[in-house]
Amino acid sequence: MNSRQPLPGPAGLLVIDKPRGPTSTSVCRLVKARLRRAGAPRTVKVGHGGTLDPLASGVLVVLVGRAATRLCGRIMAGEKRYTAHVDLSHRSTTDDGEGELTEISVLRPPAREEIDAVCSRFVGRIMQTPPAHSAMMVGGRRAYDMARRGEDPGLRARPVEIHSISVVEYEWPRLVIDVRCGKGVYIRSLARDIGLALGPGAMLADLRRTAVGEFTIDRATPLDSLPEAIRQADLIPVPASA
């Protein structure tokens, strides 16, 4: 009888600068494959601390091993920070550039003072309706699957927390904002709603997540710079308090 115990698998975190294109799940699959290449067991668990849409870039916290994946809830509950580019001249069926676009015409572009005033109305605890094309579950189905079939998923507004919105740059029709927020905020919805508060609407043109809790973009490794074989030494240790 073989009494040898299996070697413990790797455990820790990776802070990745995800480019536009890949899904968060596909990044986790890539990490798992590279862990296996370095000898990690097939059963090693890999997850992430908060989804980043394919059209978004920036900080994605990848959790490796059971000790790290147990931190998922804590990391997802932390503050997120984003740089969002809002297009005030288009609406979209998906609230971003992936959907069917409708051009917006205005008699007069809003002044900077109007932009500041409207953005300030979305700071605090607000009610926000998720995009129809989102991964929200409705009766056991994904909202985006229903929306693609022409069905109305009937998503309801729910409370979310936005800590701050700062206007970084504004030149009609491009608005760049820095957003700090809590769990569950859809920046696509925020862009849409800011546009609706100004008049005919808007859409999210580009999004970059610059922080997830303590994990900031300056600590992130570009996806194409990850080692071909990821070892324990490449991981951030799991906090001792976890």
pLDDT tens-digit readout, 84-122: 999 999 999 889 998 899 999 889 999 999 999 999 999
Percent of the chain with pLDDT strictly greater than 90: 70
For residues 211 and 151, what is the distance between their CA atoms, to the nearest angstrom? 35
Is residue 1, in this structure, part of any structural domain at all? no
Angle between the 187-198 and 112-120 helix axes, to the nearest 10 degrees? 130
Query: How far from 5 is each of 1, 8, 9, 41, 225, CA to CA, in Å?
Result: 12, 9, 12, 13, 34
Is residue 54, in this structure, part of any structural domain at all? yes
Is residue 50, in this structure, part of any structural domain at all? yes
In which band, very low, low, confident or very high, does the pLDDT at 3 lie, cut at 50, 70 and 90? very low
Between CA 136 and CA 4, with CA 29 as vertex, the angle to 5 degrees is: 120
Instruction: Return the structure tokens found at 56.
Output: 């978004």
Q: Is the pTM of this model over 0.85?
A: yes
Whether residues 61 and 172 share a domain: the answer is no
Q: Measured in whole angstroms, how far is the alpha carbon of residue 64 from the centre of its chain?
A: 19
Is residue 134, in this structure, part of any structural domain at all? yes
Range of the domain at 229: 12-77+215-234
pLDDT tens-digit readout, 176-188: 999 999 999 999 9
Catalytic residue, chosen from 53, 87, 95, 193, is: 53
Whether residues 115 and 228 share a domain: the answer is no
Q: Provide the pLDDT for residue 7.
A: 55
Instruction: Answer for the pair 206, 96: CB distance below 8 angstroms, yes or no.
Output: no
For residues 162 and 45, what is the distance between their CA atoms, to the nearest angstrom? 32
Query: Active site includes 53?
Result: yes
